[in-house]
Amino acid sequence: MHTSETKLVVRYVETDQMGIVHHSNYFAWFEMGRTGYIKDKGIRYSDMEEMGVLLPLIESGCRYVSGAKYEDELVVQTQMTDLSPVRAEFNYRVIRENDNKLLAEGFTKHAFVNSNLKPVNIRKNYPKLWEILNRAFD
């Protein structure tokens, strides 16, 4: 199973008064990881949107293990763990690079919809996209 790695450095604006990353930022990092993952497979998010396919979030979760701090160098490891013609699920691990410490792990679930937000079967209606995303399990 393909794992994409997205590197980032914690910015001051992402921390709270205690100097620890605010929990909401992990979901933005998950998005960065997911975007990188899809790009690694050979298509950009914006390409999917131009095709008329959107990927709204339908469920998410995160387990926080240890706090990231200002200027920590992080790696977001992303995997697609489930794919059906109408849904996709991604799992994430946020690791501090210098000591390889797990800071958080989470998931997001998404539906494939058209520009009118109606569910769409990508295997049937967008076979090329299905083929690209399905390569994750090769």
Of the residues 16, 40, 72, 82, only one is catalytic, namely 16
Q: For tokens 């690079």, what's the residue?
A: 97
Give the burial class of 105: count Cβ atoms within 10 A of its Cβ; 0-12 exposed, 13-18 middle, 19 or more buried: middle
Torsion angle (degrees, nearest 10) of CA 7, 78, 105, 28: 60
The token pair at 82 is: 């489930």
Contact of 40 with 4, CB cutoff 8 Å: yes
Q: Is 138 a catalytic residue?
A: no
Tell me the two tokens of residue 51: 């095709």
Catalytic residues: 16
